[in-house]
């Protein structure tokens, strides 16, 4: 049994859950007209409303005790100060240094990492300006019109999300595209519409060994050479974002077009590094720097605010409250902002690759739940897809609603309708609808008693379904930086309380390992026989169908 589930703070929360479990949010709001004021927090332009939770001052105190018991304050400082907290890989975790302002100093093993960070940022700025102003051109002398980022996971999800999120700030003359899947459909559908003379490829890979990325990069290389008639074109049409300078050079990318980052930047925390080059190319380096500044503002808040007034800590502890004491099944990210439609996908890797673990830092199996499934969809689309389950399903799905106060697109009533739907959903989830209320509605609609009896059970909403709401003035680069850093730190806080390492990802290795041994069997004339009957049959079914 783990120390955690037998610790004083954990046992106190278990007791509290038993006591509070029957209370409803409806009654909490009725009993206290100041509830919002007590359970909301603003950091610069970011407002967090966490009052629509099954949560009292006592809950907040006991959860905060859990954070103190986990020595969260020490762990926060360890991360910012370059301790090797990624223990299984013996690495520091310093994505926060990437967004520290000029003049900062961050020591890793006694050496300041800031000069290297500043050098690469300067190289990114120069490259962005030259590509965007047409100084840097392709093999046939034409300016670039399209940038294709070839990468996967943390080398794609962040930049892809950010380019869509900051679309209003994007260049109209330089389009961003993202290729990640090994499925040839992904790269082919891009190359079919692109002009090789004006296409720039960014090969984004921390290791420069990821099968999907390297395979796609070679396909792009062949395309450029075939279309432009010379392998000399590679040097002009490719850049690399990587820690593996030897591999980038072997691929044929000149050193000046290689943008370095370091092993103390985790893939899913790398958007702030050279991996952010596609963003900087799309929105300009000044806007990319604003994104960094927003993240740094959240860093300062995270490092300095008392846990009771600390946005990442509050979100993390509320998540733990439902994960470990309510057995909530999943957590949905519901951005009421079309520009944030890829934010749920980005947060899936950030949170589930960080905390989807079952062995703790002491190498013991955990006896408590860790990260739940994270999913989501932009509102109001989700309302026509899965909200039935969120409102009337048998399992509790906790939710984060995110919305801008003002839209980039002032069109008629659209934004007011979007916000009305956002707020209505969180109100409905909290309130629910009793049988009496549903009956009264049906009576008003003039239904017969028999019709009411037949329909009534389906019109009742249990309510008491928790939600957090994050509002921000407008989705600009600075705000996006704040939001991403908020969720990074939320993820880290949960890992500290759960005593797990958020920064390794051994769980992705096994599948890759089996895939590489299975690949030759799919190209073989001989039927597969080395696996279980299912895997053998699947391989052989394909072999038999292909040969037809």
Site for ligand F6P in 380-439 (CB under 6 A): none
- Which one of the listed residues 260, 353, 377, 488 is annotated catalytic? 353
Q: How far is the CB of 349 from ligand F6P (least distance, A)?
A: 7
Nearer to ligand F6P, 51 or 270 (CB): 270
Q: Does 206 bind ligand F6P (CB under 6 A)?
A: yes
Nearer to ligand F6P, 435 or 508 (CB): 508
The token duo for 115 is 């000069």
Instruction: Give the interface segment with ligand F6P, choosing from 80-88, 202-210, 330-338, 365-373 (CB under 6 A).
Output: 202-210
Nearer to ligand F6P, 267 or 382 (CB): 267
Whether 378 and 386 have beta carbons less than 8 Å apart is answered as no
Q: How far is the CB of 213 from ligand F6P (least distance, A)?
A: 5
Instruction: Give the interface segment with ligand F6P, choosing from 119-127, 204-212, 276-284, 289-297 (CB under 6 A).
Output: 204-212
b/e string for 460-486 if b means 16 or more Cβ within 10 A? bbebbbbbbbbbbeebbbbbbbbbbbb
Q: Does 106 bind ligand F6P (CB under 6 A)?
A: no
Q: How far is the CB of 260 from ligand F6P (least distance, A)?
A: 13
Q: How far apart are CA 413 and CA 386, in angstroms?
A: 25
Nearer to ligand F6P, 210 or 469 (CB): 210
Nearer to ligand F6P, 96 or 349 (CB): 349
Provide the edge-to-edge strand list for the sheet that holds 40-43: 40-43, 46-49, 467-472, 397-404, 330-335, 373-376
Instruction: Give the interface segment with ligand F6P, choosing from 115-123, 173-181, 203-211, 472-480 (CB under 6 A).
Output: 203-211
Q: How far apart are CA 546 and CA 542, in angstroms?
A: 6
Single out the residue of 86, 180, 213, 351 in contact with ligand F6P (rule: CB under 6 A).
213
Residue 407 to residues 162, 335, 512: CA-CA distances in angstroms?
17, 13, 42
Q: How far apart are CA 95 and CA 267, in angstroms?
A: 10
Q: How far apart are the first and last CA of the chain?
A: 56
Site for ligand F6P in 503-522 (CB under 6 A): 505, 508
Nearer to ligand F6P, 159 or 170 (CB): 159
Q: How far is the CB of 149 from ligand F6P (least distance, A)?
A: 11
* Catalytic-residue membership of 353: yes
- How many alpha carbons lie under 13 Å from residue 398 in its C-beta half-sphere? 27
- 110 Cα distance to chain centroid: 32
Q: Does 159 bind ligand F6P (CB under 6 A)?
A: no
Q: How far is the CB of 274 from ligand F6P (least distance, A)?
A: 11
Q: Please list the residues that pair with 403 across neighbouring strands.
A: 471
Single out the residue of 53, 180, 210, 351 in contact with ligand F6P (rule: CB under 6 A).
210
Instruction: Give the interface segment with ligand F6P, choosing from 182-190, 206-214, 302-310, 478-486 (CB under 6 A).
Output: 206-214
Q: Does 152 bind ligand F6P (CB under 6 A)?
A: yes
Tell me which residue of 341, 130, 361 sits closest to 239, measured CA to CA: 130
Q: How far apart are CA 497 and CA 9, in angstroms?
A: 11
- Neighbour count for residue 327 (Cβ, 10 Å): 11
The token duo for 416 is 């007011």
- Which one of the listed residues 6, 61, 300, 384 is annotated catalytic? 384
Residue nearest to ligand F6P (CB): 267
* Catalytic-residue membership of 512: yes
Q: Does 323 bind ligand F6P (CB under 6 A)?
A: no
Tell me which residue of 104, 9, 76 sits closest to 306, measured CA to CA: 76
- Greatest extent of the chain over all pairs of C-alpha atoms, in Å: 81
- Site for ligand F6P, rule CB under 6 A: 152-155, 205-207, 210, 213, 267-268, 353, 505, 508
Catalogue the active-site residues: 353, 384, 512
């Amino acid at each position: 049994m783990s120390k955690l589930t037998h610790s004083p703070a954990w046992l106190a929360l278990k007791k509290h859950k038993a006591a509070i479990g029957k209370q409803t949010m409806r009654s909490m709001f009725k009993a206290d007209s100041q509830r919002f004021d007590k359970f909301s927090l603003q950091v610069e332009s970011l407002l967090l409303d966490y009052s629509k939770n099954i949560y009292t001052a006592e809950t907040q105190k006991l959860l905060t005790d859990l954070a103190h018991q986990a020595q969260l304050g020490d762990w926060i400082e360890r991360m910012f100060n370059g301790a090797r907290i990624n223990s299984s890989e013996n690495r520091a975790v310093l994505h926060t240094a990437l967004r520290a302002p000029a003049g900062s100093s961050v020591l890793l093993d006694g050496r300041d990492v800031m000069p290297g960070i500043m050098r690469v940022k300067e190289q990114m700025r120069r490259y962005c300006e030259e590509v965007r102003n047409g100084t840097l051109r392709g093999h046939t002398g034409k300016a670039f019109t399209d940038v294709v980022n070839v990468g996967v996971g943390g080398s794609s999800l962040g930049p892809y999300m950010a380019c869509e999120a900051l679309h209003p700030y994007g260049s109209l003359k330089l389009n961003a595209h993202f290729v990640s899947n090994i499925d040839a459909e992904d790269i082919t559908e891009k190359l079919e519409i692109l002009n090789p003379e004006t296409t720039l490829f960014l090969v984004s890979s921390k290791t420069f060994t990821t099968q999907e990325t390297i395979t796609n990069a070679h396909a792009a290389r062949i395309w450029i050479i075939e279309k432009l008639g010379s392998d000399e074109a590679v040097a002009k049409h490719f850049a690399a974002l990587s820690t593996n300078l030897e591999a980038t050079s072997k691929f044929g990318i000149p050193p000046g077009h290689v943008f370095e980052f370091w092993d103390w930047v985790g893939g899913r925390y790398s958007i702030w590094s050279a991996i952010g080059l596609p963003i900087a190319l799309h929105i300009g380096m000044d806007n990319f720097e604003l994104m960094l500044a927003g993240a740094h503002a959240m860093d300062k808040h995270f490092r300095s605010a008392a846990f009771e007034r600390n946005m990442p800590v509050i979100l993390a502890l509320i998540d733990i409250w439902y994960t470990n004491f309510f057995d909530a099944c999943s957590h949905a990210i519901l951005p009421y902002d079309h520009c944030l439609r890829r934010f749920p996908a980005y947060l899936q890797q950030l949170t589930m690759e960080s905390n989807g673990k079952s062995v703790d830092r002491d190498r013991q199996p955990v006896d408590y739940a860790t990260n739940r499934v994270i999913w989501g969809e932009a509102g109001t689309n989700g309302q026509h897809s899965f909200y039935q389950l969120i409102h009337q399903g048998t399992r509790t799905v906790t939710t984060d609603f995110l919305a801008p106060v003002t839209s980039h697109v002032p069109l008629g009533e659209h934004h007011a309708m979007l916000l009305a739907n956002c707020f209505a959903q969180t109100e409905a989830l909290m309130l629910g609808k009793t049988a009496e209320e549903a009956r009264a509605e049906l009576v008003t609609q003039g239904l017969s008693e028999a019709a009411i009896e037949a329909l009534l059970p389906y019109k009742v909403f249990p309510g008491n379904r928790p939600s957090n709401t994050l509002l921000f003035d407008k989705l600009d680069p600075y705000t996006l930086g704040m939001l991403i850093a908020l969720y990074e730190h939320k993820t880290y806080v949960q890992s500290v309380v759960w005593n797990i390492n958020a920064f390794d990802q051994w769980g992705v290795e096994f599948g890759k390992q089996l895939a590489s041994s299975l690949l030759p069997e799919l190209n073989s004339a001989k039927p597969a026989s080395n696996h279980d009957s299912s895997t053998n049959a699947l391989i052989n079914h394909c072999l038999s169908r292909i040969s037809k």
